[in-house]
């Protein structure tokens, strides 16, 4: 009897068959050290790239731009790593801090002896130190001791780092955030069409919300067979959407959400799930229930879409682009469609038509980046009929993004016409660059002002109530 091909494939459970228990422990330790070294290399490389790209730009007019030099580097780092602008910017910041402010700690981190969470805490807790000599002293003390802090909890780690900050520069102590400042509401991912959410509120606000939900849950018809818990959940949605006091599920005011689904699923001919952008899949049965009280707007099939003789796409074309892309098409960006602009890949003023093969979603930040950081040594893009976009970075490296909706629904993956476009020069002119939104003050000035403000709070607090020494 022949053997199945799968029998010869390496599997996870067989990866360590040649190791005894001591060998497995050694493997874990080696992997941990390798992971730390890899993280350090990634962050330090991001910081070094930022140093090179930012060198000599202090007097550049773009320092005042909303999408400034830092944002331009973050876009390139994010594209290379496949992460968001925020995460790319964070990597750059850690790298810069280790290279310029805490170089001794950076050496320890790069050796693989230090956990990321210790390094990150050290960078944040020392962020208000402005005197280079003081910072060098703190860096020396931290680099000598930090390895022993890998085992500490977040609270104890904060305490041991602050001990050295206070000794050398009391005004640089980070004030603890109050519980009130930590209030938040967060939503999880959809599971079977249901989403969990959690957060914290002021006690008085929570009491008001709790009582209001009870009132809405009680104000229902006698034949309503929902439980009190279900009525409270539905009432919260109705309250947020401006619906009626009865809190029936699905009632809403002016709030609109879009759920993608195949027509065959709504008719009961298919069990393909739908998709709620930002949350995930929606079960077929739930989709059909939503369709009974929602407005169903069929999409025009891609082959029937053509160029339109105007800059702004029609509602039909715009609806298709938003469903096809589902979010920003810049590499690594995860901004949803509702906060994105519909952008011409080849600009309208450069001869680009308002056609599905020349339109894509970009969040406002990446739209500005693409518009003003273009031309020589800037970003360039090429779109294909199936919505695929190939981006070329200032470094010459290329990144490919594909429309998320087309990956979920075959009908959205049908190519539209393949265009052959030759764009005229679209490098920002002197007059055009004046349209870039600007900052009230540069990023560096903003950071300096924030540090001065926090230090001032500490100095005022201690002037009013001097700490014992």
The string of pLDDT tens digits covering residues 251-265 is 545 567 788 888 888
Whether residue 332 sits in one domain with residue 381:
yes
Whether residue 233 sits in one domain with residue 146:
no
Whether residue 87 sits in one domain with residue 142:
yes
Q: Give helix 103-110 / helix 21-54 axis angle, nearest 10°.
A: 140
Whether residue 319 sits in one domain with residue 334:
yes
Whether residue 192 sits in one domain with residue 90:
no
| pLDDT score of 181 more than 80 | no
Whether residue 320 sits in one domain with residue 288:
no
Residue 331 forms part of a structural domain = yes
Which of 145, 176, 207 is the C-terminal boundary of a domain? 176
290 vs 106 pLDDT, higher one = 106
Rounded Cα distance between 345 and 319, Å, is 17
Q: 422: pLDDT confidence band, cut at 50, 70 and 90? A: low
pLDDT of residue 3: 46
Residue 16 forms part of a structural domain = no
Residue 445 forms part of a structural domain = no
pLDDT of residue 219: 79
Which of 159, 176, 193 is the C-terminal boundary of a domain? 176
pLDDT of residue 9: 55
In the chain, the percentage of residues whose pLDDT exceeds 70 is 88
Place of tokens 């075959």: 410
Segments forming the whole domain that contains residue 224? 182-241
Q: Which residues pair with 447 in a beta bridge?
A: none
Whether residue 36 sits in one domain with residue 139:
yes
178 vs 268 pLDDT, higher one = 268
Give the CA distances from residue 98 to residues 18, 23, 46, 105, 201, in Å, rounded to whole numbers and listed in that order: 39, 34, 11, 7, 37
Rounded Cα distance between 170 and 172, Å, is 5
Q: What is the pLDDT of residues 344-367, one digit of tens each?
A: 999 998 889 999 999 999 999 999
pLDDT of residue 325: 95
Residue 88 forms part of a structural domain = yes
Residue 87 forms part of a structural domain = yes
- Report how far Cα 359 is from the mean position of its chain's Cα atoms: 23
| Least confident stretch, 102-116, 279-293, 416-430 | 416-430
Whether residue 373 sits in one domain with residue 320:
yes
Which of 176, 197, 232 is the C-terminal boundary of a domain? 176
Residue 5 forms part of a structural domain = no
| pLDDT score of 87 more than 60 | yes
Whether residue 194 sits in one domain with residue 163:
no
Whether residue 160 sits in one domain with residue 43:
yes
Rounded Cα distance between 307 and 301, Å, is 14
Whether residue 293 sits in one domain with residue 309:
no
Residue 170 forms part of a structural domain = yes
Whether residue 225 sits in one domain with residue 163:
no
pLDDT of residue 201: 80
Q: 164: pLDDT confidence band, cut at 50, 70 and 90? A: very high
Count: domains in the chain: 4
Q: 463: pLDDT confidence band, cut at 50, 70 and 90? A: confident
Residue 342 forms part of a structural domain = yes
Secondary structure class of 236 (helix, strand, coil): helix
């Amino acid at each position: 009897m022949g053997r199945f091909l799968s029998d010869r494939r390496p599997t996870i459970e067989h990866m360590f068959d040649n190791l005894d228990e001591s060998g497995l422990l050694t493997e874990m330790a080696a992997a941990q050290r390798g992971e730390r070294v890899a993280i350090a290399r990634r962050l330090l490389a991001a910081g070094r790239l930022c140093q090179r790209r930012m060198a000599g730009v202090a007097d550049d007019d773009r320092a005042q731009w909303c999408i400034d030099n830092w944002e331009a580097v973050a876009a390139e780092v994010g594209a290379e790593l496949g992460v968001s602008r925020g995460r790319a910017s964070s990597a750059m910041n850690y790298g810069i801090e280790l290279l310029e402010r805490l170089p001794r700690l950076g050496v320890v981190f790069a050796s693989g002896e230090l956990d990321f969470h210790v390094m990150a805490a050290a960078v944040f807790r020392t962020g208000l130190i402005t005197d280079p000599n003081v910072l060098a002293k703190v860096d020396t003390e931290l680099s000598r001791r930090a390895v022993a802090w890998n085992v500490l909890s977040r609270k104890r780690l904060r305490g041991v780092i602050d001990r050295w900050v206070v000794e050398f520069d009391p005004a640089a102590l980070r004030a603890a955030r109050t519980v009130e400042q930590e209030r938040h509401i967060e939503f999880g991912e959809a599971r079977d069409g249901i989403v969990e959410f959690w957060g914290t509120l002021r006690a008085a606000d929570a009491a008001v919300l709790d009582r209001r939900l009870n009132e809405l849950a009680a104000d229902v018809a006698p034949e309503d067979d929902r439980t009190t818990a279900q009525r409270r959940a539905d009432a919260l949605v109705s309250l947020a959407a401006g619906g009626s006091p009865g809190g029936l599920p699905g009632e809403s005011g002016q709030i609109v959400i879009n759920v993608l689904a195949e027509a065959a699923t709504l008719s009961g001919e298919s069990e393909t799930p739908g998709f709620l952008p930002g949350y995930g899949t929606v079960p077929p049965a739930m989709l059909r229930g939503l369709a009974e009280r929602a407005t169903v707007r069929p999409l025009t099939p891609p082959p029937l879409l053509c160029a339109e003789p105007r800059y702004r796409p029609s509602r039909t074309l715009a609806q298709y682009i938003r469903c096809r892309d589902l979010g920003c098409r810049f590499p690594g960006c995860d901004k949803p469609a509702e906060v994105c602009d519909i952008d011409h890949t080849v600009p309208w003023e450069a001869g680009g038509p308002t056609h599905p093969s020349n339109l894509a979603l970009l969040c406002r930040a990446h739209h500005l980046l693409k518009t003003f950081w273009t031309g020589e040594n800037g970003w360039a893009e090429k779109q294909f009929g199936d919505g695929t976009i190939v981006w070329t970075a200032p470094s010459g490296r290329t990144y490919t993004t594909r429309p998320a909706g087309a990956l979920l629904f075959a009908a959205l993956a049908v190519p539209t016409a393949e265009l052959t476009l030759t764009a005229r020069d679209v490098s920002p002119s002197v007059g055009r660059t004046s349209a870039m939104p600007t900052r009230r003050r540069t990023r560096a000035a903003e950071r300096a002002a924030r540090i001065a403000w926090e230090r001032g709070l500490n100095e005022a607090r201690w002037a009013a109530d001097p700490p014992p020494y």
